Amino acid sequence: MIRPLASLCFVLATILSISAAETTDFVDLFNGKNLEGWTQRNGTATYQIEDGAIVGTTAEGSPNSFLCTDKLYGDFEMTFEVMLDPGLNSGVQIRSQCKDDQPTGRVNGPQVEISYDKMAGYIYGEAAGGWMTPDADRVPNDHVKNGQWNTYRIVAKGDRIQTWINGAQVSDLKHPERFQSHPKGFIGLQVHGIRKGTGPYEVRWRHLKIREL
């Protein structure tokens, strides 16, 4: 009787240790205090810290701006909260890079859409061919709530990218071509360019967490 009980205890301990690892191995991408570990690329939008959130503010006449992690990621799971001003389009770059691998080169790669135009959560190829999610699969949704914090979850593994908004799955995309060209890269927080005479607009991110798979 002792050996079966010991074996059962070992199995339970193993399961609990795995479960604990799955819930504790996320790390903070943003420390809530400063932009250590991040570098701005492209554009003249501003990024600052307010109440533990990264606040991106548009600059009139600026092209798209990106605040990018210094660390590169391949396969990962990521969660964050975002709040967007009406009238502004935004997104989060994943596995992205700069043209010619130069600091000032054009940011390019997959982008998870953040917007109120009902395309939120689908995958766009920023300076990389346009929409990666096929037209037929971009079913309009209203998961993003105006004036509220919205929770995104992204899982990128191999050529598959999955997204959820506020617990509802939006996208389950396989894109071998883009995975071949962008298997690994930085995470980037986009402030979209705006037309002259509009704005300023703000987008806020907080509780950015990631775990590598």
Mean pLDDT of 177-206: 93
What's the confidence (pLDDT) of residue 3? 52
Strand-pair partners of 60: none
pTM (two decimals): 0.86
Domain residue ranges of the chain, discontinuous segments joined by +: 27-212
Q: Out of 3.20.20.80, 2.60.120.560, 3.40.50.300, 3.90.1150.10, select the CATH number for domain 27-212.
A: 2.60.120.560
Q: Model confidence over 27-73: pLDDT tens digits? A: 999 999 999 999 999 999 999 999 999 999 999 989 999 999 999 99
16: pLDDT confidence band, cut at 50, 70 and 90?
A: very low
What's the confidence (pLDDT) of residue 85? 94
Q: Model confidence over 101-134: pLDDT tens digits? A: 887 899 999 999 999 888 999 999 999 999 999 9
Q: Model confidence over 129-183: pLDDT tens digits? A: 999 999 999 999 999 998 999 999 999 999 999 999 999 999 999 999 999 999 9
